[in-house]
A = this chain, B = another copy of it.
Amino acid sequence: MIKHFLSLSSLTPSEITALLDRSHFFSQNYRNPDKVHHLLRHKIIANVFYEPSTRTRCSFEVAAKRLGTEVVNFVPENSSVRKGETVYDTLKALESLGVDGIVFRHSDDHVFDQLKNRIKLPLLNAGAGKYEHPSQGLLDLFTLKEEFKRLEGLKIAICGDVKHSRVAGSLMVAAEKFGMEIYLSGPPSLVPKSQKLFVTEIPFDDALPKVDAVMMLRIQLERHESLDLNQESYHRDFGMTPERLGKMKKEAIILHPGPFNRGIEISDELVEHPQSRIFKQMENGVYARMAILEWAMGQGN
């Protein structure tokens, strides 16, 4: 059976826990070729990014190379897409070329629904539409678990454009599976009402003393240019500032999926503060993606 990695919601808690355990293994051994380089040796993956993304593409690429896998970068804009080829036909062509997996990003929310039963090799969701970004979700869970040695009962605030954030989407899915509590804050038009019992909409400053971690979201100016967001007032109302950090528990941490806007979502001087795990998240992303690649393409599949 083909093991697509499309969403956290389609995985059981024990499958996710197994991925987190392997992420931990890779965090200890990723620079030890004897322990990791043979795991996916001689495989080839294709990176297919219809939306640009430095971090996610490079993160998958480094993860693959550490595991001995070759990477072919397919850049849609330099390609047959100009000639009007459909996404399905492009991916089917890559399948025909005999690659072993496809790491795929697209702006369409539902693109995988049309693909998952028709593409006969693992598809790895590297971000689709507004709702799902499961490899980011996994690295966020891994970062939390490494920090607190558990997920159950953790309280997480998510602040910003929750409505359009696939990072928030994947984190909320995981929260339900692992019994975390979620507090949502941000501009009212960007924070959806939730019926979920474990989700609470709350003013940002009220959430701060309660939580173990705050996930700051990037204001994605390219997604809602019509919105008249003032950067200074956004920073004042919804940014992570030294004053707000002071309201948090001493052991609570700051998360951000990046790329971040210094001085908007987060004060410049907090990006590398001892309570920030922002660059640690990027590091953990490689371990999580090694686990994902191994899960989808490793022996026994």
Contact = CB atoms under 8 A, between A and B. Distances in A.
Interface of A: 30-31, 33, 37, 41-42, 44, 46, 52-55, 58-59, 61-62, 65-66, 70, 72-75, 78-86, 89-90, 92-99, 218, 222, 258-262, 271, 279-280, 282-283, 285-286
Contact of A44 (B44, B65, B79): B65
Nearest to A61: B72
Contacts of A271: 89
A294 to B, nearest CB: 17
Contacts of A96: 279-280, 282-283
A84 B261 contact: yes
A36 B17 CA distance: 38
A83 B259 contact: yes
27 contacts: A31-B98, A33-B41, A33-B42, A44-B62, A46-B58, A52-B79, A54-B80, A54-B90, A54-B93, A55-B93, A58-B74, A58-B97, A62-B98, A62-B99, A73-B73, A80-B258, A83-B259, A85-B259, A85-B260, A89-B259, A89-B271, A93-B279, A93-B282, A96-B279, A97-B283, A98-B283, A98-B286
